[in-house]
Amino acid sequence: MKHCKIVIAGGTGFIGQEMIKHFGKENNIIVLTRQLPDASNNRNRYNSLNVAALKNVKFIKWDGKEVAEWCNEINGADLIINLAGKSVNCRYTEQNKKEILDSRIDAVNAIATAIKKCSTPPSCWINASSATIYRHAQDRPQDEYTGEFHSGFSVNVCKAWENAFFNQQTPGTRKIALRMAITLGPGGVLIPYFNLLKLGLGGKQGSGKQMYSWIHIKDTCRMIEWITENENIEGTFNCSSPNPVTNKHFMQTLRNVTGYTIGLPAFEWMLKIGAVIIGTETELVLKSRWVIPTKITETGFQFKYPLLEDALKDIISEVPRKQYRLF
Ligand SMILES: NC(=O)c1ccc[n+]([C@@H]2O[C@H](COP(=O)([O-])OP(=O)(O)OC[C@H]3O[C@@H](n4cnc5c(N)ncnc54)[C@H](OP(=O)(O)O)[C@@H]3O)[C@@H](O)[C@H]2O)c1
C-alpha cells in the first residue's frame, strides 16, 4: 500500500504503534489520540516509536466520544482503522466493565457520525473486534461460519461492539470487523511472558490444554493491506493464524526460541492469586481460544507466518536480549 491516507483511532497502543511502523513509511497516517505526544510522555506512551522521526504521521486529539475538529481529518481518507478502547487487561470490576464496553461503543458511534458528515467518506473502515467473541472451545475450532458465541462478559462486549459497528449505516464506506486473536509482536502480550521466563515460570499455565490462537502483527498488517486493496471484501473476518496451538505448545516454543530449557508450570490456583495481585483476570490465559481464519483464506490471502515457531523467531530477532533474558 502506498500514498494512502490512513486514519488510526486508538493508534497509540501496541497494535497501533506496529501499524504506524508498517504503514508509516509510504503512506500518510493520522492518529486519533486522547493525549497528544510531547516531551514528557513520549518515552512512556510511544515506547516503540520515535515520534519526532515520523514525518508522515500526524497526531490529532479526540475524546473517543464526540465529533469535533478531528472529523475533518477523516474526510477523503482511504482507510480508517479503529483500535480504540480501554484495555481488557484489568480486574473486571463493575466500573472497569462499563468503561471497557462504553469506550468501544462510543468510539464506533463517534467515527460513524464523523463519516456521515464527510463530503468524501473514507473508502474503507476496519474496526477491531476480538476472537474472544467465540466460546471456550476444546472440542473443535471456531470459524466465521460455524463458530458459537455463548455468553459471558468479554463475549458480550464483542457482540455489542460488532453490532454497534454494523448497525451504523455508512453508504460509501466499506466495513470490515476483524476478530483479532492474540497478536504477537515485539511488545504487547509478549512482555509479561518474557517476565515469566525470567522468573523461571515459563511452563504451561493451568492444564496447558487450552487452545491459544495467535497471529504475528506483520500478518495483521498484511491482512489489512489485502482487505483495503480487494474492494469486494466486507463483513466479519477472523484475524488469526491458521495454526493455533495449545498453551503448553506455545510456552514450549517460546522457551525454545528464547533459549530456556526449563520453565515451571503455573497452576490454576497460582494464576488466580497472581491475577488479583497484578490486577488482571485469569480468563486472559485460561480461556481456550480455538479460532481459524476460514473466510480470509477463502479470499486467497496467504500468511507469511502461519507457524508459531517462525513467527516467534522473527519477533525475538527484533527484541533486545535483556527483555527476555536476565543475562
Ligand atoms: N493486542 C491483542 O492481542 C488484541 C487481541 C484482540 C483484540 N484486540 C483489540 O484491538 C484493539 C487494539 O489493541 P491494543 O493491544 O493495541 O490495545 P492498547 O494497547 O490498549 O491500545 C488501545 C488504545 O485505545 C485508546 N484508549 C484506551 N482507553 C480508551 C478510552 N477509554 N476511550 C477511548 N480510547 C481509549 C488508547 O489510546 P489513547 O490513550 O492515545 O487515546 C490506547 O492506545 C483493542 O480494542 C483491543 O481490545 C487486541
Q: State the SS3 of 32-66.
A: EECCCCCCCCHHHHCCCCCHHHCCCEEEEECCCCC
User: Residue 150 has which C-alpha cell?
Assistant: 455463548
Q: How far apart are CA 35 and CA 60, in angstroms?
A: 9
Q: How far apart are CA 17 and CA 47, in angstroms?
A: 9
CA 264 to chain centre: 28
* Residue matched to cell numbers 509510504: 26
pLDDT attached to residue 81: 98
At 107 the three-state DSSP class reads: helix
pLDDT attached to residue 49: 82
Kindly tell me if the per-residue pLDDT of 39 is higher than 90.
no
Kindly tell me if the per-residue pLDDT of 42 is higher than 70.
no
The rounded Å distance from CA 261 to ligand 1 centre is: 34
Q: Among 7, 8, 15, 291, name the best residue to mutate to test ligand 1's pocket (greatest count of ligand atoms within 8 A of Cβ).
A: 15
The rounded Å distance from CA 12 to ligand 1 centre is: 8
Q: Are strands 187-188 and 182-185 parallel, antiparallel or unpaired?
A: antiparallel
DSSP label at residue 132: G
> In what helix (H) or strand (E) does residue 251 lie, and over which residues does it extend?
helix 247-258
Q: What is the pLDDT of residues 97-118, one digit of tens each?
A: 999 999 999 999 999 999 999 9
Kindly tell me if the per-residue pLDDT of 48 is higher than 80.
no
Q: How far apart are CA 133 and CA 151, in angstroms?
A: 9
Of 202-216, 218-232, 274-288, minimum mean pLDDT range: 274-288
What contacts 294, CB < 8 A, 6 or more positions away?
Answer: 143, 144, 145, 238
Which residue has its alpha carbon closest to ligand 1 atom 19? 13
What contacts 182, CB < 8 A, 6 or more positions away?
Answer: 131, 189, 212, 213, 214, 215, 289
Kindly tell me if the per-residue pLDDT of 280 is higher than 90.
no
**Band of residue 312 on the pLDDT scale cut at 50, 70, 90:** very high
Kindly state the percentage of the chain with pLDDT values over 70: 98
Arithmetic mean of pLDDT, 222-228: 98
User: What is this structure's pTM?
Assistant: 0.96
Instruction: Give the class (CATH, top level) of 5-323.
Output: alpha beta
Q: Are strands 79-82 and 214-216 parallel, antiparallel or unpaired?
A: unpaired
Kindly tell me if the per-residue pLDDT of 41 is higher than 80.
no
Of 46-60, 152-166, 205-219, minimum mean pLDDT range: 46-60
